[in-house]
Amino acid sequence: MFIVKCDACGFEQVVKKRLDSDVYEALKHNNGLYCDRRVCDGMSQVVPGSFKKTWGIFGGWTVVQPMDLETYKSVKRAKKILEMGIAQMNSKD
């Protein structure tokens, strides 16, 4: 049995099902855990750039975790490519 608690509103949910190792590590080593209720909507929470949000733990719970170096580099590169694409589209107009 595992109890998860929302960092924003304090809502607690008891989880009685067996957890796989990835989900357990995500819940154990997180920097924020937000429930899926309309009160605090985890996907709208703002996180610093060096953290990532993982949605879909136990339905709609959102977990905030630190990014590893490879993930940070890929996100930074994707943002750069997006900005270049937007700049190219604006220059054609």
pLDDT at 56: 72
pLDDT at 77: 93
Which token pair is 25? 């590590």
pLDDT band at residue 42 under the 50/70/90 scheme: low
- Tell me the average pLDDT across 28-56: 76
pLDDT at 43: 66
> Of 71, 69, 61, 67, which Cα lies nearest the Cα of 27?
61
Residue spans of the domains in the chain: they are 2-67
Other CB atoms within a 10 A radius of the CB of residue 70 amount to 8
Q: How far apart are CA 40 and CA 47, in angstroms?
A: 14
12-34 pLDDT per residue, tens? 888 887 877 877 777 777 888 88
66 compared with 39, residue with greater pLDDT:
66
